[in-house]
Amino acid sequence: MSIRRGGPLEVYLEDVVRLRKPHPCGSFDWTVVRLGADIGLRCHGCSRKVLLPRRELERRLKLFVSRGPDFETGRESDSTDDGSREMSGSIDAANVLRS
């Protein structure tokens, strides 16, 4: 499952995401702490929490630094056609090319 398939972004609790622009504290990395219409993120630099609409997170997301345990669970339950999942390592490069 790549980041962009036209559908909603797949994001799970404890995923660590890197955004395109740094937080004012200088950190690019955030841990997902809440899911819903808005995604709760905790800054790795200053531990501040923010809520971002899913769409906004998708726009700002650069790459997944690591995926939470729920991502692994989802992966196992949907393994019939996961050729695209192997592409996760190249998300960063794809986004660099796009920007």
Q: Which residues bind Zn ion (CB under 5 A)?
A: 23, 25, 27, 43, 45-46
Residue 7 or 26 having the CB closest to Zn ion: 26
In the bound complex, what is the minimum distance in angstroms from residue 70's beta carbon to Zn ion? 24
In the bound complex, what is the minimum distance in angstroms from residue 20's beta carbon to Zn ion? 15
- Distance of alpha carbon 28 from alpha carbon 15, whole angstroms: 14
In the bound complex, what is the minimum distance in angstroms from residue 50's beta carbon to Zn ion? 9
Residue 15 or 29 having the CB closest to Zn ion: 29
In the bound complex, what is the minimum distance in angstroms from residue 28's beta carbon to Zn ion? 9
**Burial of residue 39, with CB atoms counted within 10 A of its CB: 0-12 exposed, 13-18 middle, 19 or more buried:** buried
Q: By the 8 A CB rule, do 9 and 62 touch?
A: no
- Distance of alpha carbon 25 from alpha carbon 80, whole angstroms: 42
For 80, residues 6+ apart whose C-beta sits below 8 A from its C-beta are none
Residue 44 or 54 having the CB closest to Zn ion: 44
